[in-house]
């Protein structure tokens, strides 16, 4: 696992946007007719916003195209309509998809209003498989170290399913809602296992509030109480953070990753 430490959240976003651009462009450079599209997993939240903003610019400048990119979002609240201003559907279209050249049919987001959540989650897993898996899963991290909506205690081999949100997550996420009672108590989410199956994982971790989660994810062992720590077991993963998020790391860890960053 690599840790890239940038000065602030916009530099962290810039770095990840450049990596995504490179991965997509390299893929299409070597791709033969009839090959599968590039498949990317995407998160919501405030941390990825600088990345979406930059990717939109790159798309407008023709540095990158999403015409043959398929996306799978990580999660969605149960019970919010697609056009609800706090649904993840709304968030993704508002902040990203409406502004790039992606085909509508290539966007996949779990339906939190389905008749059978179990079936919905099963079909999501099958659809990911039908595209040959996910090339790059981009993720954020909750203050309690959760990845997608895999709350503390989630199985590290979990697949897409319904999860009940912890009180902590409801409180943290209530900042997006008018009041805490509006925050849904359940969500559909890809599992830790679903994310771990991706060929590459990149997490954006910015802000002082994530410092404890970053420390637990990197410096302590793999633990289902900090589900993002599972990525220690992934063969190609990277965390890009800002200085604020490093507040709980040991000086030794900080220096080591700073040192090897330039050697890459
Ligand atoms: N389900 C999402 C996660 O996917 C996201 O990583 C987390 C952090 O969000 P933020 O980036 O706003 O801190 O929030 C929610 O819980």
205 Cα: distance to centroid of ligand 1 (angstroms) = 10
Q: Span 236-256, mean pLDDT?
A: 97
Q: Which of 73, 40, 44 is nearest to 169 (CA)?
A: 44
CATH at residue 198: 3.40.50.1360
Tell me, letter by letter, the H, E, C secondary structure of 35-94: CCCEEEEECCCCCCHHHHHHHHHHHHCCCCCCCCEEEEECEEECCCCCCCCCCHHHHHHH
Q: Taking 80 as the threshold, does the pLDDT of residue 264 lie above it?
A: no
The closest residue, in CA terms, to atom 2 on ligand 1 is 148
Among 201, 204, 231, 226, CA closest to 215: 226
CB 41 within 8 A of CB 125: no
Distance 29 CA to ligand 1 centre (A): 33
Instruction: Decide: residue 92, CB within 10 A, 0-12 exposed, 13-18 middle, 19+ buried.
Output: buried
What does the pLDDT average to over 97-121? 98
Among 41, 42, 44, residue to substitute to test ligand 1 (most atoms within 8 Å of Cβ): 44
Q: What ipTM score was computed for the predicted complex, to two decimals?
A: 0.96
pLDDT tens digits for range 113-142? 999 999 999 999 999 999 999 999 999 999
| pLDDT score recorded for residue 33 | 84
**Which tens digits make up the pLDDT trace of 68-99?**
999 999 999 999 999 999 999 999 999 999 99
Q: Tell me the percentage of the chain whose pLDDT exceeds 90.
A: 94
76, 137, 141: residue to mutate for ligand 1 pocket, most atoms within 8 A of CB: 141
Average pLDDT (31-58) is 96
What was the pLDDT predicted at 4?
98
Question: Which of 11-15, 29-33, 66-70, 186-190 shows the lowest mean pLDDT across its residues?
Answer: 29-33
Nearest CA to ligand 1 atom 9: 45
| Structural domain harbouring 10 | 2-261
| Percentage of residues of the chain with pLDDT beyond 70 | 99
Q: Is the CB of 149 under 6 A from ligand 1?
A: yes
The pLDDT confidence band at residue 263, using thresholds 50, 70 and 90, is low
Provide the mean pLDDT of the chain: 96
Q: Which residues are catalytic?
A: 75, 144, 146, 151
pLDDT tens-digit readout, 143-192: 999 999 999 999 999 999 999 999 999 999 999 888 999 999 999 999 99
CA nearest to 218, candidates 199, 194, 238, 235: 238
Q: Which helix H or strand E contains 241, and what residues bound it?
A: strand 237-242
For position 261, what pLDDT does the model report? 85
- Looking at the 3D structure of the chain, how many domains does it have? 1
């Amino acid at each position: 696992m690599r840790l890239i430490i940038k000065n602030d959240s916009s530099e962290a976003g810039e770095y990840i946007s450049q990596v995504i651009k490179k991965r997509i462009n390299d893929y299409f450079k070597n791709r033969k007719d009839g090959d599968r599209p590039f498949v990317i997993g995407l998160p919501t939240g405030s941390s990825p916003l600088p990345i979406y903003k930059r990717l939109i610019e790159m798309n407008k400048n023709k540095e990158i195209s999403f015409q043959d990119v398929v996306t799978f979002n990580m999660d969605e609240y149960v019970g919010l309509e697609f056009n609800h201003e706090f649904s993840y559907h709304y968030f993704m279209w508002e902040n990203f998809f409406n502004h790039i050249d992606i085909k509508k049919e290539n966007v996949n987001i779990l339906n939190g209003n389905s008749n059978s959540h179990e079936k919905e989650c099963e079909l999501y897993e099958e659809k990911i498989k039908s595209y040959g898996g996910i090339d790059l899963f981009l993720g954020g991290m909750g203050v309690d170290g959760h990845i997608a909506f895999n709350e503390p205690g989630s199985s590290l081999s979990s697949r897409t399913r319904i999860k009940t949100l912890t009180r902590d997550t409801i409180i943290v996420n209530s900042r997006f809602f008018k009041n805490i009672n509006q925050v849904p108590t359940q969500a559909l989410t890809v599992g830790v296992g679903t994310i771990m199956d991706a060929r590459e994982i990149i997490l954006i971790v910015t802000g002082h509030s994530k410092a404890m989660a970053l420390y637990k994810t990197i410096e302590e062992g793999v633990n289902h109480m900090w589900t993002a720590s599972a990525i220690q077991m992934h063969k190609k993963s990277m965390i890009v953070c800002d200085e604020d998020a490093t507040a709980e790391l040991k000086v030794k860890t900080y220096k080591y990753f700073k040192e090897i960053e330039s050697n890459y």
